Chain A
Amino acid sequence: MTNQEESTVAQGVLEIDRISKRYGEVVALRDMTFEVRAGELFGFVGSNGAGKTTAMRIALGVLAADSGEVRWNGEPITFETRRRIGYMPEERGLYPKMKVLEQLVYLAELHGLSTNDAHRSAENWIARLGVRDRRNDEVQKLSLGNQQRVQLAAALVHEPDVLVLDEPFSGLDPVAVDVMSQVLREKASAGVPVVFSSHQLDLVERLCDRIGIVRSGAMVACGTVDELRAGGETRLVVEVPDAAEGWADGVPGVRVVEVQGPRTTLELTPEADDQAVLGAALATGPVREFSRQRPSLTELFRNVVTEEGVA
């Protein structure tokens, strides 16, 4: 939450502000709000149909919002500024019968590069993404993984100021995942706000500076992984070989989740005192392990989804 106050300084920030979109009776987005700051990798996660793709398509202007605003550098985004976005649509989009290099040069030119710059940039990116030896092949003749690399090159070839990528990692082999991660990291380091959606939550957790979890068209949690963890229940794993069953029952705000031999997993409410737990554990005899278990993004996400089921 430390950076939240700085959002008034909108330089290099992509802001999605209270975007709503309905398809007839179906509400796709409901006051969707988030921002991606300069130099930040923002992970966009949510169940299928939560509205991630719709939000991205609206940011790119290929879909019109019913209400709300998308801003770049503090100004409402225009057709001209949209040209500065690099976009990778969910359903990949390239001309199947066009050659790799020609296609990238064409897309770069359409984004305003001169023919020479377009060639230079296209050559650079196909080399960088490891598809240089396929440069004169038709896109449809490439494997899906290689098509994906070309698709990423298509998003990057005009050296965009913002990157919006819908599921860039789906269908990639581990090597390609590394290449893609590295490129995205680099772009962010260069000051480009990068937002991408993914279902690979471990990857998102590892890669992203901030994460937004979407549910039913609205942002339900947004922040760094630590911020997302804050306010939730804490889990402790304690290994006490000599303890009798129910050793921790007396500590207020503590619930036993699981007992596996000498290891006991406890869940503490925010008010509970972990030092009281340690005291109770020591009272039983030696303590071999006493650790705080940090919920992974997957668990955080599951909690949100469960809440959805309850709500």
Chain B
Amino acid sequence: MRRLSPSRAVLLVARREFLGKVRTRSFVIGTIVIVAVLAGYVLLQAVLFDQAGRSTVGLNGQATVLAEPLKETAKAFGREVSTVDVTDPAKAEEDVRSGDLDVLITGAPDALRVVVKDNLNSELQNALDAIVKQQVLNAQLAEAGLDPAVVAKNMAAARVTVVALEPESSQQGQRLAIGLVIAALLYYSLLVYGTMVAQGVVEEKSSRVVEILLATLRPWQLLLGKVMGLGAVGLVQLVLIGGIGLVLSTTTGTIDIPGLAGGALATGVLWYLIGFFLYATVFAAAASLVSRQEELQSVLTPISTVIIIAFVVGINLLIQDPSGTTVTVLSMLPPFAPILMPGRMAIGVAPLWQVLLSIVLAIGFVAAITWLGGKIYSNAVLRTGSRVKLRDALR
């Protein structure tokens, strides 16, 4: 007699689910669209960042000596400056008007005339003010018989000592962005692939193929195979999107913290696995209660709502204060942890004990929910017709 081991049964089901989904046009197109949107966003950020941080300054006549001091001073104020020497002020003014030049500077160093199109960037303004003041100061120092270079050196050494009680990472912006992206990706993956599991369950019920399958498979084998197969599809997509995003953002310099994005992607994958097993069983159990796709929405709404709340509320709290009490507690509760904890981890505000506690709680919750969901699924999946009451399915 031919035998079918439980592991081969589960793998066969998983393989069908995986190949069946990965080869669909909707998966391929969907993934391409998401990658394109992500790439577009990263590139736009890079370009905007580049443009916003850089000014082209035209220098004319005596002002050309300012090229080096201007670059250095502007940099100290947080602005990149590139300079060009211009010979024809009238034509240069036209360039400013057309936007080819951001700023045109003419005149003697102690009486500069600055031409801009509409307004002068405040960092550049501060830099120019500082230079002009320095010029005046240098002249006065020289009159008083002091060496401006020595004075400048002494001044540079003088500074206040800052003691930060809760130091904010200088990389806070980038970290927050990564945290939000990770939370958004997990939100998307859990919702989309959880729903896919539910649709698969109902498809088998409505087409009655489940009767044939359950004559040769145990319900748990069918359920586990389905969850594993579709979970793998989601994982492939997550890694693909995350990986491409990582490469793009690193090469364009949008993210310049070594290892941060990679680490965030790794924790994202871990939390995806936990979250998917947590939600997929619930989605499957809910779907097994109905027999038609049209009835599916009504049983899925409560589950989707939890995920949406975790995302919407969580994102708002993360932006406001990622260490706040509410978001800290939420991020450790199993239904919300898979979206919020990886976000907080990427931002760098989750202590190790909170991470470990949330993982332990989530895994315990997964065990309980898998047991319960498997029971509901086994009891309800062969009952076609009207919607099965949850109470009946639990008997």
Contact = CB atoms under 8 A, between A and B. Distances in A.
A254 to B, nearest CB: 52
A85 B23 CA distance: 32
Interface in B187-236: 203-204, 207-218
A109 B207 CA distance: 20
A179 interface: no
B221 to A, nearest CB: 9
A89 B13 CA distance: 20
Contacts of A87: 211-212, 215
B23 to A, nearest CB: 11
A112 B2 contact: yes
A57 B217 contact: no
Contact of B215 (A61, A98, A109, A112): A61
A110 B213 contact: yes
B12 A93 contact: no
A294 interface: no
Given A91-B208, A93-B209, A60 B2 contact: no
A194 to B, nearest CB: 16
B351 to A, nearest CB: 48
Contact of A80 (B1, B204, B211): B1
Nearest to B9: A110
B90 interface: no
B232 to A, nearest CB: 17
Contact of A110 (B4, B203, B207): B4
Contact of B2 (A79, A96, A97, A111): A111
A125 to B, nearest CB: 15
Contact of A106 (B4, B12, B208, B210): B12
Nearest to B11: A109
Contacts of A110: 4, 9, 12-13, 213, 216-217
Nearest to A111: B216
Interface string A98-128: 1000000011011111000000000000000
A113 B217 CA distance: 14
Nearest to B384: A91
Interface of A is mostly: loop
A36 to B, nearest CB: 17
A94 interface: yes
B107 interface: no
Interface in B13-35: 13, 16, 20
A21 to B, nearest CB: 14
A113 B215 contact: no
Interface in B246-292: none
B2 A113 contact: yes
A154 interface: yes
B16 A93 contact: no
A54 to B, nearest CB: 12
Contact of B20 (A85, A91, A98, A112): A98
A84 interface: yes
A119 to B, nearest CB: 14
Contacts of B2: 83, 111-113, 158
Contact of A154 (B20, B212, B384): B212
A80 B216 CA distance: 8
A63 interface: yes
A111 to B, nearest CB: 5
B216 A93 contact: no
Contacts of A62: 211, 214-215, 382
Contacts of A94: 207, 209, 212
A82 interface: yes
Interface in A143-181: 154, 158
Interface string A62-87: 11000000000000000111111101
17 contacts: A61-B214, A61-B215, A62-B214, A62-B215, A80-B3, A87-B211, A91-B384, A93-B207, A93-B210, A94-B209, A95-B207, A95-B209, A97-B20, A106-B16, A109-B12, A110-B4, A110-B216
Q: Top 7 A-B pairs ranked by shortest CB distance?
A: A112-B2, A93-B208, A93-B209, A112-B4, A91-B208, A89-B211, A60-B215
